[in-house]
Amino acid sequence: MIAETVKVSEDMLALVGDGQAPADGLPSDPIALCITLGSTPALRLRTHVQESEGEIALIVSRTACTSVFGRDVGDEDYHLPSELRAIALAIYGCVLEGPARTIYRGAKAIELLCESFRLLGTGALVPMEESGIVSLADARRLLEARRLIDERWHEKLTIDGIARACGLNRLKLTQGFRHMFHSTVATAIAERRLDSASQLLRTTDRPISTIGYASGYLNNASFARAFSRRYGVSPSDYRAARLAA
């Protein structure tokens, strides 16, 4: 069985569905990024292309990856984070037909590739292998905690509330989160909120106080302090610099 093939460029194919890669037309010296969307969502990097190890596989020229992203890959397995899973689901579940389907899936495949390498570069992807410090079961719960922060950052989140929602005790959450993501829970929440605030400052003319409140800060002073610590300038100076650019 041959997986459905989307030719994105001379350097990249996207395979959708289980099955073998086509016998010809592959990029030169290809590597594969395989996405599994089942009970254990995963990103599997492979240096030899045989068949899709999941619902989606991106077959990419190694030379192109090194040239564009500045890094090579080996055979590695990672837990699939929520942002990559959302892109993969959009590719797999595309309901468009004809040329629109090909164009949409090709564009999303490029986004999936770029985001995968971005997360690889920042060390944000969590290896599937058991580390010996955090069990696989707890790693999954910690990934759920990270997803909860990514998706519900605008709510009033507490460590105890996140721990209960993910089936962890407070100690396992705080220690495991730091080990897996090299960040505290509080820092992860703050960074997600400030990322949203910076985008609103760049792309809207909403009042700064309104943006701060929408980003989870109860008063303008606390928002300004947190923003300045993260970006090195006040929210107003950040907006002014972007408008002048």
pLDDT tens digit string along 155-182?
889 999 999 999 999 999 999 898 888 8
Of residues 126 and 95, the one with the higher pLDDT is: 95
Distance (Å) of CA 223 to CA 148, 192, 193, 198, 213: 22, 13, 10, 11, 8
Q: Are 63 and 28 in contact (CB under 8 A)?
A: yes
Name the amino acid, one letter, at 182: H
Residues pairing with 15 in the sheet: 5, 57
Structure tokens at 225: 């302090």
Q: Are 33 and 54 in contact (CB under 8 A)?
A: no
Name the amino acid, one letter, at 186: A
Q: Are 191 and 122 in contact (CB under 8 A)?
A: no
Helix (H, G, I), strand (E, B) or coil at 96: coil
Q: Which helix (H) or strand (E) holds 186?
A: helix 185-203
Dist. CA 43–CA 76, nearest whole Å:
8
Of residues 245 and 148, the one with the higher pLDDT is: 148
**The model's pTM:** 0.56
Structure tokens at 29: 């010296």
- Least confident span in 5-19, 38-52, 149-163, 170-184: 38-52
Return the C-alpha torsion angle 197, 199, 201, 204, nearest 10.
-120
pLDDT tens column, 99-114: 999 999 999 999 999 9
pLDDT at 93 over 60: yes
Alpha helical stretches, state H, 60-135: 62-69, 82-92, 98-122
pLDDT, mean of residues 206-234: 92
Confidence of residue 26 (pLDDT cuts 50, 70, 90): confident
**pLDDT on residue 172:** 92
